[in-house]
Every structure is written in structure tokens, then in C-alpha cells.
Amino acid sequence: MKTDSKTGRHLEDVRNLLKGLTVANAPCDENIPPADSLLYFIDLACPENSRFSSNFTQMLGYDISDFIAPAADWWMPLVHPDDIGNLTSLATLPAELWGKTLTQRFRIQHENGEWLDVIDQAMKVPVAQNGGGVIVGTLRNPSIYRKISGVLQESNRRSRHLLETIPDGVMVYDARGKVVHSNVAAQKMLGLNAEQLFGLEAADNRWQAVDQYGQPLKPDDFPAVRALRGGEPVSGVVMGVKRGDDTRIWLRLNVQPLFAPDTGQSDGAVVSFANVSDLKNAESAIAERESLYRQMFDHSPAVKLLIDPRTGRIVDANRAACDFYGYDHVDLCGMVIAQINVSEGDAVAKSVREIVRKGAESYSFRHRLASGVIRDVRVHAGRIVLNGREYINSIVFDVTERNEYERRLIKANRQLQLERQRLDEIVRATNAGTWEWNIRTGEIRVNERWAEIGGYRLEELTPFGVDQWTSLCHRDDLDKIHALLNRHFDHETDHFDCEYRIKHKNGGWVWVLDRGKVFEWSDDGKPLRLSGTHSDVTLSKELEQRMRHMALSDPLTGLANRRRFEEYLSTAIAQCRAGGRHVILLLFDIDQFKMVNDTFGHPAGDALLVNVAERIRKQFRESDFIARLGGDEFAVLLTNVEDVAIAQKAAMRVIEETARPIKVEGQEIRVGVSIGISAGCEAVLPKTLYQCADRALYQAKEAGRNTFRVCKVREVD
């Protein structure tokens, strides 16, 4: 960015500041802002040139025309009354803070009356052309991230569970026709593990695929290739492939193409398949030996019926048919086919005519058994001649379970497609990174958002493993990370949840929240694969630290308050016990402070307290602990001190420094300070040390004030 030290940045460069003020991963193009982040540009010299991003109404509910000439603090009329007093006005921002980002959190009222908890990041910038400066900033509503986090975990769990529980094999191909996922059933069926299947092309030569007639399958004829190329589902394809152990199995495949929801372009395909080797082998055997086994009717384990095409009467049935239908041979052979076939209309008569005309055909019907149960059957029928008469020889296969599997698989494919679409949408909406850790190999796969949080491009983190990840983690956080991981690996917790720091590419530290869960375990309960999300929580951590500092600090002097003093006193004594040295407590009380308040007023008294606090601070080391306990009472803790004389010298310096005149609101004020000193180590209690110093302070006041006294701990004990 070009800069003029006298007149400020050029106007054409100001817009580039928007990129630095947007939330992580938010687009900088104001024409496509995220639903939770509002971008704004306020021209203080020419308000009519101010601009808001197009999602203004979507986020706040107001019409953008309500803010045609917005001021520096355009949002102030919408701020919750309880928050106004805590906000810094950009209109009156001191010049030394121009060009620096101001982050504020407050509540703002939506047009529907709802109060939104928002984070505002803005920068006031001088501009040469108009001399009045501009304000660029973002107004962000972070609530969407918390809402989506739980949905993401539940969606991911359900999708994984669905894939791993269906009995049929499932493989997911990307748009290039390469395997990106396979379930356990597919791996067992094909004799290959997930790593061996990953990346294989649909028409890979290792399959040595053949069609249902045993002819080599051309690459363009593979079902997955057809679905990817044509964008249409492919169903019921039977093909033979070589397993990992070089044995051939026969599969019946269904392929469902996938499409990217935002573009509608082909995005991959889901292939589901069942092992039909037994059925295929039986059909092949029958086809090859039909002339030989036709006369061996009764010895076939397959259900066979011999039907008179003119009357539809069952002329003969083998033992398998009697067992299947539940009738004895005499009763079954006295029936007509329409008595067991529940098809409506003339479907049976029509199929008979087709068989007679074509010589052979296959049909799917529903047959009723003697028990009343209805089963799905696949009938392979052919015309034969016995003793000069035509008959229909039917081989009946019970495919009820197979059809149910296919119906379930179609439903599962549909659900899988919807779940994948939902998962992709959720991941994009959360603005979170994703990661997957192969614990056996140490490889970690991350997405572009994960890399972006650390200031990197994805290619800069490829390949990426556990060692590289560990090197990015803050060393003070590693013990906590490993402890939480081990608790999850040992089944003590349901998931891994940890906040820690990673090194940004620019050298700074970014706070992140990692949430993950093991989704693949070994047979002996060891973790194999862990996946999860990775979110930037730096802003919330900084807010948390600021809030803690405010809770433990005196708002007037900036010193520690009584609560922080009590915490530190216990810690200091514990360290004294460990080191065998002294901890010394000095209590200060300003002499005649009430008279100053009564004479000059409380504002003057506050100014006096700030001045005295600064004078006390200058007489001690940076490592010494200084606190305002309330009113005009101050305390100083010295640790690892060998001799109480050091505290006495410091007390004299404070007395001398405080005795100098103090100018407050044009008035010259003289005050003194009384000091009580106590020293202890080993088994001294915090309460005892404080009471001892308080006794010494009382003695100093009794001695005429503006002096100090030392009280030994045993005098109180």
C-alpha cells in the first residue's frame, strides 16, 4: 500500500483495508458477503459515498436506505443501552489510534426486536483527498458457528454409521473416476483394504473385469464410467472382477451419480454392489448344461416347474419346488400357475405367449406360498419339447432378500447423497477447517481452510504429518494436547476437545479449537483413524483474557485488585516455602486522604490516588507485586527476599516521594503515607502475614503518621 506521511493513505488503497478487517475466511468481495459478516465503508467527509455490503438487510433487518448518510458510529442508535457506556466512539478517536484496528463487542437490535451479540472491528484512516478520513470495518454475528458445530458432528457420525452398517459393498468415486472412500463390506468382498482401494480408477486393469457373458469389459462400459460420463444412474449390471487374492467373483452393481450442489456439475458417483457369485455360477452352469440337465429335473436343487402353455397348468414340479411352495407333489401339479402368481391382469398369460414366441425369457413375479406368505421371485423360463408337445420349463429363484437389499441400498444411496450434500454445506458454512489423521502412518489430511487459519496455502502443507503439526503447536500446550488425546484413545472421553495455539506463518500465535473423534478402531481397541474440525478462536480467547484482566484489576489505577492480591499472596508464600527465602508484605495508607476528598471533592481524590499509585510503582521492581486493596489502601509483595532491610529502604523511598507536593486540578496538595511491614516464610499463613502488616500500619499511624513500622509474624501468632 502506498503511504504519504503527511496526508495519509490514498483513497484508492483504502478499500484494500477491508481484507484485513474481515473475519477469518470471509470473502472480501462486498458483493458476496457471508450471512454472518457485514462489511462497511464510511466516508466522513462525504457520507453519501459510504457503502454497506449487500447483506445489510439480511443480517440486521433494516433497509439500507435508512443509512444514506451514516456517521462514524452509525450503529450507535441500535446499541443496547447497557453497552453504550463501554464503547469507544470512532468520531472522537485520538489521532495516535488512527490506522489501528479497534475491536468492540456489544449488543445491537435487529429490526424484529431481537438483540444480536456482535463483534465490531473498525479502523479510522486519514485520506489525502478529503482530509476527513474514512472508516472501514466489519460487523460480525458469531452465533452461527456455535449452532452448526453440533450439527456437523451429528451429521458426520450418522453418515459414517450408515456406510458401515449396510451389508452391501459401497465405494465412492470422485469426478475423475477414482475411489475416495470404501466401506468395510466392500473391502472384505474385494479382498483389498481401504488404502489399496483408495485412488483406484473405475476401469483399472487390476480388476480384469468381464461382462455377464465372460467377455472382457471395455473401459467405457464400466458402470461407474457410464454414470460419470452420462450423469444418469446405472442399475443391475452383473460383472466379474478379480479379488485381491486373484480369485474371480461376480457382482451385481448399482451406480448413482453425484452432483455438486452449487454448480450442478458431475462431482462423483456412489457404487453399491452385492456378491452374486453363487447365483451367477448357478445360472452359468444351467446355461452350459441345459440340454444335459433338462432330463435330470428332479435332481436339481433349483425350484423348477413344467407348465402347459395352453392351459397354464403345472404339469410337473421337482422336490425343491414342493419344498419352496409348501405343497406336496400331487397338489402342486393339480394347480394352474395363476393360483401361485399374484400378478394383476393378463401378465402371466402375456409372459407365456412371449416365451412361446421367443423361446426363452426371464421375468420378475410375486408368488404366494401355501402359508399365504408372498415372495419375490425371478423366473427364467424356456420352451422345450417333450414327446412332441410344447412345455415351458421354469426355473424359479427366490430373490426376496436380494430385492430388499437393493431397495435398502437405493434408499441408502439417496440418503448418502443427501447427507454428503448437507455435510459439504455445513463445513462451508462453519468456516472451520477439517482434518483426518491416519494414526498408523502419521499422515494428516487437512483442507484449505485449515491451512488458511495458519496463514498457509494448502500446497505448502502437502505432504503433512503429525511431526509437522506438532512443530506448529505451542510447546506450552503440547502436554495438554497429548493428555486429552490419550484420554480419548483410552476410551475415557467420547471425543477429543482442545484449545491450543499454533504458529502463524507471520510468526504470531493463533488460538484454535480442535474437536475430533476416532472413527476407526482396531480389533484390540486401538485408534486407527481420527478426524475432526479446526476453528480459529483467537478473538474469543483475547476477549476472555481481557475480561479476566478486568476482573482482577483496579479500574482507577490499573493495579491489581484485592481479589488478585489474595490469590497472589497464597502463591507467593507457597514459593517461599519451596525456596526457603522471605516474602515481605508492605501495606500503605495515605495520611489525611479523607480531608482531601472533603476539601477538593472526589474527582480530586481519585486523581490523587492515581498519582500516589504511580509514585509507589516507580519505587519497586517490575517483578514486585503492587495492588490497590480499596479506598486509599495499597499493598506491595516482595518475594525471594533475603533481608527485611530491603523493604525498609523501599518504604523510606515511598515516604520521601509521596511527601513531594502533588498538583491536582490546579491545587497543590501535600499528603503523607503510613506503611506497615511484615515478613515471613515457611509455615506462615496468608491471613497471619496480612494481620502482622496491618498491626505495623496501625503502629505507624500511632507514631505520628508518614513513617513505617515493622511487625514480626510471631508477635501476632
Q: What is the predicted pLDDT for the residue at 13?
A: 47
Q: Is residue 34 scored above 70 in pLDDT?
A: no
Q: What is the predicted pLDDT for the residue at 420?
A: 66
Note whether 325 and 210 are same-domain residues.
Answer: no
The answer to whether position 283 is within a domain reads no
Query: What average pLDDT does range 514-540 have in this prediction?
Result: 89
Q: What is the predicted pLDDT for the residue at 695?
A: 93
Digit-coded pLDDT (tens) for 549-566: 666 678 888 888 888 888
Note whether 570 and 660 are same-domain residues.
Answer: yes
Q: Is residue 579 scored above 70 in pLDDT?
A: no
State the cell numbers at 391.
412345455
Name every residue whose Cβ is closer than 8 Å to that of residue 457 and which is 6 or more positions away in sequence.
448, 451
State the cell numbers at 375.
415372495
Note whether 339 and 442 are same-domain residues.
Answer: no
pTM: 0.33
Which domain-ending residue is among 113, 141, 169? 141
φ/ψ of residue 20, rounded to 5: -75, -20
Q: Kindly report the number of other CB atoms within 10 A of residue 38's CB atom.
A: 24
Q: Is 530 within 8 Å of 519 (Cβ atoms)?
A: yes
Q: Is residue 21 scored above 50 in pLDDT?
A: no
Tell me what percent of the residues of the chain surpass a pLDDT of 70.
Answer: 84
Q: Is 234 within 8 Å of 255 (Cβ atoms)?
A: yes
φ/ψ of residue 245, rounded to 5: -95, 15
Note whether 494 and 441 are same-domain residues.
Answer: yes
Which domain-ending residue is among 141, 160, 180? 141
Closest by CA position to 308, among listed 379, 384, 378: 384
Q: Is residue 580 scored above 60 in pLDDT?
A: no
Note whether 383 and 357 are same-domain residues.
Answer: yes
> For residue 20, what pLDDT band results from cuts at 50, 70 and 90?
very low
Residue 686, amino acid: P
Q: What is the predicted pLDDT for the residue at 25?
A: 33
Q: What is the predicted pLDDT for the residue at 31?
A: 42
Q: What is the DSSP letter of 347?
A: H
Closest by CA position to 9, among listed 99, 127, 132, 137: 127
State the cell numbers at 683.
509455615
Digit-coded pLDDT (tens) for 696-711: 999 999 988 889 999 8
Note whether 258 and 178 are same-domain residues.
Answer: yes
Q: Is residue 280 scored above 80 in pLDDT?
A: no
Q: Kindly report the number of other CB atoms within 10 A of residue 30's CB atom.
A: 18
The domain of 489 spans: 431-541
Note whether 675 and 573 are same-domain residues.
Answer: yes
Query: What average pLDDT does range 572-588 have in this prediction?
Result: 77
* Higher pLDDT pick, 556 / 575: 556
Note whether 156 and 126 are same-domain residues.
Answer: no
- Give the CATH number, domain containing residue 80: 3.30.450.20
SS3 121: strand
Q: Are strands 102-109 and 360-368 parallel, antiparallel or unpaired?
A: unpaired
Note whether 672 and 591 are same-domain residues.
Answer: yes
Q: Can you give the three-state secondary structure of 371-419, one letter per residue? A: CCCEEEEEEEEEEEEECCEEEEEEEEEECHHHHHHHHHHHHHHHHHHHH
The answer to whether position 420 is within a domain reads no
* 165, burial (CB in 10 Å: exposed 0-12, middle 13-18, buried 19+): exposed
Which domain-ending residue is among 276, 304, 320? 276
Note whether 271 and 172 are same-domain residues.
Answer: yes
Q: Is residue 478 scored above 90 in pLDDT?
A: yes
Exposure pattern of 340-350 as b/e (b: 16+ CB <10 Å)?
bbebeeeebee
Mean pLDDT of the chain: 82
Q: Are strands 234-242 and 248-259 parallel, antiparallel or unpaired?
A: antiparallel
Rounded to whole angstroms, the Cα distance separating 472 from 105 reads 30
Query: What average pLDDT does range 187-214 have in this prediction?
Result: 91
The answer to whether position 516 is within a domain reads yes
Name every residue whose Cβ is closer than 8 Å to that of residue 287 and which is 6 or more positions away in sequence.
none
Q: Is 153 within 8 Å of 421 (Cβ atoms)?
A: no
Q: Kindly report the number of other CB atoms within 10 A of residue 475's CB atom.
A: 9
- Give the CATH number, domain containing residue 665: 3.30.70.270
- The helix (H) or strand (E) run that includes residue 706 is none
The answer to whether position 426 is within a domain reads no
Rounded to whole angstroms, the Cα distance separating 395 from 286 reads 10
The answer to whether position 410 is within a domain reads no
Note whether 558 and 654 are same-domain residues.
Answer: yes
Q: Which residue has the cell 437393493?
A: 406
The answer to whether position 284 is within a domain reads no
Query: What is the count of structural domains for the chain?
Result: 5
Q: Which residue has the cell 470422485?
A: 174
> For residue 443, what pLDDT band results from cuts at 50, 70 and 90?
very high
- Cite the DSSP H helix spans in 50-119: 56-60, 81-84
The answer to whether position 158 is within a domain reads yes
The answer to whether position 421 is within a domain reads no
Digit-coded pLDDT (tens) for 327-374: 999 999 989 988 999 887 788 888 888 988 898 898 889 999 999 999
Name every residue whose Cβ is closer than 8 Å to that of residue 146 and which is 6 or more positions away in sequence.
none
Note whether 532 and 559 are same-domain residues.
Answer: no
